[in-house]
Amino acid sequence: MDHRSQIREFLTSRRARISPQQAGLPSYGTRRVPGLRRAEVAQLAGVSVEYYSRLERGDLSGVSEHVLDALARALRLDDAERTHLEDLARAAGPGSRRRRRPAARAVRAGVQRLLASMTGAPAFVMNGRGDVLATNALGRALYAPMIDAARGAVPNHARFIFLDPRSRLFWGDWDRAADDTVALLHAQAGRDPYDKDLTDLVGELSTRSEDFRTRWARHDVRQHHLGAKPFHHPVVGDLHLTYESLTLAADDLTLVAYGTQPGSDSEDRLRLLASWAASSHSGDDRAREAAPEPPKRLA
């Protein structure tokens, strides 16, 4: 991913969505492109047209906090978009090509124990690319379709959503899940534009999925700290789950835990999923116990 292109396309996409009327500006003549002109953004931000044009060409090096504040106001950026702009500016600064501390590729034993202790809620740990690095038993049961689709590799939200047709049955609102996943990848690209694994993932999905390419071109970014998601699980049916995301700052990872509304059908179905997970695990254990020992190798 080219960092200057990310900056240019993010800024142009943000000004294209704002009309002069929304910005409180008069509109004269026919406009060739939607949204604000560069000169209008410069006027709203209190900078020269030449300076804003330099920024929109992808050069955020040396930009001040004051200018970032003014741009955020002029372009009506929300909190996630403002953070993304700050990340893009930080990555454009001196020494930016020195990779930030990479996220952990494995989950620490203490985090594994924390996951295991969460017996009543599906939970998992993922990195900024959407790789699911660890789950508890109920999380493994909930995400069984995604885990099975990975065929022994590390499950990844984006690969499952855009490359596996089963995802359209699993996600109760596939379009929203797809939008959210791409927005998370864009945010990660702003934080760490030189992450080769992320670049490879975006390249793979861009090559293989028109749905992904269309969404990636929008340059939307979002933060997902809490909310609700619908699922259609192949064993227990429809689930409407709330979620909370917790940052594991020591590892640059995120722990996500799901819950249900008390007394809801989803609460009953989550209990059923827990029973199914326990019986499946017991069945796997019995199968391993009944399996004959492998033959000893001859000397």
Residue-range domain boundaries for the chain: 3-91, 109-287
- Contact 155/146 with Cβ under 8 angstroms? yes
For 231, the enclosing helix (H) or strand (E) is strand 226-233
If we measure between CA atoms, which residue out of 172, 125, 169, 130 comes closest to residue 150?
130
In 3D space, the residue among 244, 221, 237, 229 whose CA is nearest the CA of residue 77 turns out to be 221
Q: Among 23-37, 165-179, 195-209, whose mean pLDDT is lowest? A: 23-37
Q: Order of strands, edge to edge, in the sheet holding 237-248? A: 132-135, 123-126, 253-259, 237-248, 226-233
Residue 181: count of CB within 10 angstroms of its CB: 24
pLDDT for the residue numbered 289: 37
CATH topology of domain 109-287: Beta-Lactamase (3.30.450)
User: What is the per-residue pLDDT for 2?
Assistant: 81
8 Å CB contact between 125 and 248: yes
Q: What is the model's pLDDT at position 25? A: 87
- The domain over range 3-91 is classified in CATH as 3.40.50.970: no
Report helix angle 38-45 to 65-74, nearest 10.
120
Which three-class secondary structure state does DSSP give residue 61?
A: coil
pLDDT band, residue 283 (cuts 50/70/90): very low
Mean pLDDT score across all residues of the chain = 88
Q: What is the DSSP annotation of 174-196? A: HHHHHHHHHHHHHHHHHH-TT-H
The answer, yes or no, to whether residue 32 has pLDDT greater than 90, is no
Contact 3, 204 (CB under 8 A): no
Which residues are paired to 264 by β-bridges? Answer: none
What are the residue ranges of helices labelled H in the chain? 3-16, 20-23, 38-45, 49-56, 65-74, 79-91, 109-117, 137-142, 144-150, 157-163, 167-170, 174-191, 196-208, 210-216, 265-290
Give, in degrees to the nearest 5, the angle at Cα 199 between 194 and 205: 165
pLDDT digits (tens, 9 = 90+) for 86-125: 999 998 876 555 555 565 678 999 999 999 999 999 999 9
Return the closest-CA partner of residue 40 out of 78, 63, 74. 74
Asked whether residue 137 carries a pLDDT value surpassing 80, the answer given is yes
pLDDT above 70 covers a percentage of the chain that reads 89
Give the pair of three-digit tokens for residue 264.
């809801």
Specify the pLDDT at position 100. 56
| pLDDT in the model for residue 298 | 32
